[in-house]
Structure 1
Amino acid sequence: MHRRPESSSRFPGEYSWLVAGAVGAGESYAEAARRELREEMEVRASVRPLFTFLCRGELSPYWFAVHEATVGQEQIAPQAAEVAWHGWLSGDELRDAMASWKFVSDSRDAYNRYVRLAADRPR
């Protein structure tokens, strides 16, 4: 979980449970996910694709691909220009935060889809 800096041009001071960014020309979704993780959190990790959807967020409709990576807290060194605060939340804490904190809209949309996906997975 992290909060964007107040000085950010997009969604200042809002929270996100995702590290996100645009895909570059000729770059795959997975390459972009790895690059953004490295640029924003200084983490080098493999990523696994989860789902892709057409996000109709505040900026405009765009394709949004969600990947996941497993990292340890000691691996994270967020860039101050990208992250004002970061912390670890349990699943219940994240659910509660989603109900009361101001989140980047596409982050909230992706969270709702992630929860539905998790509910549909066989146990």
Structure 2
Amino acid sequence: MDELVERVDGQDRVVGVVSRRQATREGWLHRVAVTVCRGDRGRILVHRRSEQLSRFPGLYEVVVGGAVNVGESYEQAAARELAEELGIRVLPRLLFTFLNHSGLSPHWLGVHEAVMPDAVAPDPDEVAWHAWLTEPELRSALLEWRFTPDSHEAFSRYLTFRTPQS
């Protein structure tokens, strides 16, 4: 069964409930929550999506996440996705949201950050491979490996958000 999501408008206000498949097919705005996972020593988790996934199979990601279900907050969805995909229970911190036009269809993307132990237990149905990379290693990987569109956009905005403005 396809998951239900809240269809939202250009200001991220709920206007109805639809299936995620329909929202993607029709290009209707809905919400997605992702988390940049940082290890105890500051490294960032990178993973390759399982080949059996319907969206972006086999591509790399620098974020962990998925659709926000009906009635969930961005934070609740991000925590649920971390538990499902990595087997870890942490409370991610929402940093910012933005209207994302990369990916399969436009959506509001809530970008979170979570610091977690290096030991995670990824679900093999979701994650085919994972590693903790330093920021310079990740910047190189983003140029060389095939990442999801959301990864590039979310990580670029994450770096801008983290960098103090003068």
TM-score (norm 2): 0.70
| Cα offsets for 1:35-54 (capped at 9, x unmatched) | 00000000001111111110
**1:53 corresponding residue in structure 2:** 98
Q: Does 1:8 align with 2:53?
A: yes
**1:114 corresponding residue in structure 2:** 158
Query: Is 51-60 or 85-94 further displaced after alignment?
Result: 51-60
**1:69 corresponding residue in structure 2:** 114
Root mean square deviation, CA, Å: 1.2
**Which entry has the higher C-alpha Rg, 1 or 2?**
2
Q: Does 1:85 align with 2:108?
A: no
**1:39 corresponding residue in structure 2:** 84
Structure 2 residue runs without a partner (length 5+):
1-45
Indicate the structure with greater helix content: 1
Indicate the structure with greater strand content: 2
Distance 2:97 2:155 in 1: 12
Q: Is the 8 A contact 2:103 2:148 kept in 1?
A: no
Distance 1:96 1:115 in 2: 15
> Which residue identity is paired with 2:127?
V
Structure 1 residue ranges, 4+ long, deviating more than 3 angstroms after superposition:
none
Structure 1 residue runs without a partner (length 5+):
none
Distance 1:14 1:22 in 2: 18
| Count of residue pairs the alignment pairs up | 121
Q: Percent identity?
A: 50
Distance 1:87 1:13 in 2: 15
**1:96 corresponding residue in structure 2:** 140
Distance 2:162 2:114 in 1: 16
Distance 1:25 1:115 in 2: 30
> Which residue identity is paired with 2:93?
R
